[in-house]
A and B are shown apart, each in its own frame.
Chain A
Amino acid sequence: MSALLEVENLTVALPTRAGYRNAVDDLSLSVGLGEVVGIAGESGSGKTITALSLFGLLPNGARVTGSARLDGTDLLALRGRALRAVRGRQVAMVSQDPSASLHPILTIGTQLTEHMRYHLGVSKSEANSRAAELLDTVRIPDPEQALGSYPGQFSGGMRQRIAIAIALAAEPRLLVADEPTTALDVTVQAGILRLLDRLCRERDLSVIVITHDLGVMSALARRVYVMYAGRLSEAGDTSRLLTRPRHPYTRGLLDALPHPEAGQAALVPIGGTPPSLGAVPGGCPFQPRCAYAQASCAETRPAAVQASGETAPHLLACPPDPLRDLAQPRSRSIP
């Protein structure tokens, strides 16, 4: 599978009171054609900043280095007209909250056809018929009538389907979905996950799905990048990563989930909280919360390298590799 997007050594520094701090630190990732890739991590891990950097939507004052090549074009170097030609056309975004991302007093039809006409130069009637087709694709009942309706007339799940239709209107090659189902009920979430999966297969659409929900990850993504404090901690095939994680942070995220097969017992949280941008600890950023930390962990900042003993590509930023032979969750007991 050839890569559609190649992100190399992406570093995003944001201004804080204490000076510039890296919200994303030396991140490299790739997305193949028609592939779904996940980025996982807690709030503040740099997931969303990574996504925003691909769209030139970073906050004022952000300093970006590295590259993000989409078919050879570096998205990070684009400005003005060149950026607008790519944004929405080549790369599109679906955000967490459809009630915030849709314009409340413009009709669905207007929002769907606006950038379709801008990017594809189609006539108004052609745009309208394409828009109706798109709504049908995302399973909105009675698409013709929906075009003249307003976002407030739809439920949350329907609004997210509409937001996905809008993102697809100019036929982008890469869709970035930032927590696309976090605000939705599980039943509605299931429908959106099936929709995204179908779109990838039918349209060869590549997707980056950003979520802290490893269940969503498991259902959708073929490969997962796990981020912590702006850095890559582990990356690999989803099935391998979720069944035999190598990084203690990935293990911790899994243990904190309610486990369908385990007996009723307490959840196992990761102690402490993720560091704020201004206070990332030295050495391995996860080391203060890590149950397996050694003295050496506080000294050098580990880079993500191919994990020993894995046949497929599997990156790991944990030199002690304490989970190498541990597949089982940490003990569960009622406190």
Chain B
Amino acid sequence: MTGGPITGGPLTAGPVLALSGAAVEYRRAGQRVRALDGVDLAIAPGEIVGLVGESGCGKSTLARAAVGLVPLAAGTVSFEGLPVAPLGLRRRPGRLRGLQIVFQDPYESLNPRRKVGDLIADGVLLAGGSRADRSRADGRARAAELLQRVGLPATAADGYPHEFSGGQRQRIAIARTLAARPSVLIADEPISALDASAQAQVANLLTVLVREEGIGLLLVSHDLAVVRQVADRVAVMYLGRIVEIGAVATVWASPVHPYTQALVAAIPRADGGGVLPADLPGDVPDPASPPSGCRFHPRCPVARDDCAVTEQLLVPVSGRQVACHVRAPLPASGDPAGPDPAGPDPAGTAPAARGPQSPEPGAASLCG
């Protein structure tokens, strides 16, 4: 079986969530820090897009910008065709209720003093409009239903969050987002705080929900191995920019960008081979003063002199898009070496190239 959720050809409805040229700036000690710098990303209904990279690369900033928790310095985020922008308390329009986020730490995201059923019923009441429209009893009934949906007994509604394990709490957090009947879920490191076995349970639960309910999922994770197992497409970020994006099977099987290669090579394999994973020296630079040209060049094993000068654009190559002019040169006109039949497309108007192994869902206008 392939992991493709909507393998029945091209996207008809268009992306349900789209970031275009999205940039986010923070102020730190009078300096402007650009944590996200011109990112294009689209998620189709029923699709799982993985977002990977080291700490400090802007993954969480992207997740927060995508749900309108932080303002954009440039670019747009649109949900179901309408713009997403941060607004004050109680001013978030009802049409954004279908855009939900699951946070990393279920020990902090659930109010410890409220019963699980009430936490979920709140979501039901809000999703149903004003409190007058729906009774609390309706909310409790729906909460019980949602708890069963995420694999917990309905009686869990009467417990407090501390009575549950980490994996169970993350299920409760997911049930609460489901109360709003989301069409897009943003999950920011939803399983990295959990034990290996609980990780597998929650990852499977998210996959099932996405496939059965046609929810678009952005799965933010530092763990490429997990993303590879559940996602359809993967975007690799470095210092606020996407450096490689494509079908997960393609990117995993033959990473092109040196950074993606380093991430894949650094994963220790539980095969008993006693092989030490490959090292990537250095740390992610401070985004307040990013390196010139290609931002990865100071750590890059294949960097040339001109990498410090030239900005890198995403270029289609071998069935995915890569921002590295050493590994994925901008093909000159009629370049016979260009492996991609679609040719160069810096404007990003044509569909991304398809992976050879699997039919790629939602390939249209992902990146430019």
Q: Across the interface, do B276 and A258 meet the contact criterion of CB distance under 8 Å? A: no
The 8 Å CB contact of B197, one of A42, A157, A218, A239, is: A42
Are A273 and B2 neighbours in the complex by a CB distance under 8 Å?
no
Instruction: Kindly state whether residue B73 has any CB partner on chain A within 8 Å.
Output: no
The complex places the Cα of A190 from the Cα of B91 at a distance, in Å, of 46
* Given contact pairs A190-B277, A264-B229, A242 touches B271 in the complex (Cβ within 8 A): yes
The residue on B at minimum CB distance from A187 is B280
Min CB gap B46→A, angstroms? 14
- Give the docked Cα–Cα distance between A256 and B194 (Å): 12
**In the complex with contacts A218-B271, A266-B207, A185-B222 CB distance below 8 A:** yes
- In the assembled complex, the Cα of A334 lies from the Cα of B166 at a distance in Å of 24
The distance from the CB of B271 to the nearest CB of chain A, in whole angstroms, is: 6
Point out the residue from B197, B200, B279 that lies within 8 Å of A191, measured CB to CB: B279
Instruction: Report whether A253 and B196 are in contact in the complex, using a CB–CB cutoff of 8 Å.
Output: yes
Chain-A contact segment, one of B21-29, B259-267, B323-331: B259-267
Cβ of B87 within 8 Å of any chain A Cβ, yes or no, is: no
A217 to B274, CA, bound (A): 8
Q: Is A265 at the interface (CB under 8 A from chain B)?
A: yes
Q: B1 — which chain A residues lie within 8 A by C-beta?
A: 263, 265, 333-334
Q: Is the CB of B268 within 8 A of A269?
A: no
Chain B, residues 207-229, CB within 8 Å of chain A (1/0): the string is: 11000000000000011111011
Most buried by B among A238, A253, A256: A256
Show 22 A/B contacts (Cβ-Cβ < 8 Å), sorted by A. A42-B195, A42-B196, A158-B283, A188-B54, A193-B276, A194-B276, A197-B276, A214-B270, A215-B270, A218-B272, A219-B276, A220-B276, A238-B272, A240-B272, A242-B270, A255-B200, A258-B225, A267-B229, A269-B198, A269-B204, A274-B195, A334-B207
Given A186-B263, A213-B196, A334-B1, 10 extra CB contacts under 8 A: A156-B55, A185-B54, A186-B223, A190-B277, A220-B276, A253-B196, A264-B2, A264-B249, A265-B3, A269-B198
A residues engaging B (CB < 8 A)? 42-43, 155-158, 185-191, 193-194, 197, 212-220, 222, 238-243, 252-260, 263-270, 273-274, 333-335
Binding site for A on B (CB under 8 A): 1-3, 54-55, 165-168, 195-201, 203-204, 207-208, 222-226, 228-230, 248-249, 262-263, 265-281, 283-284
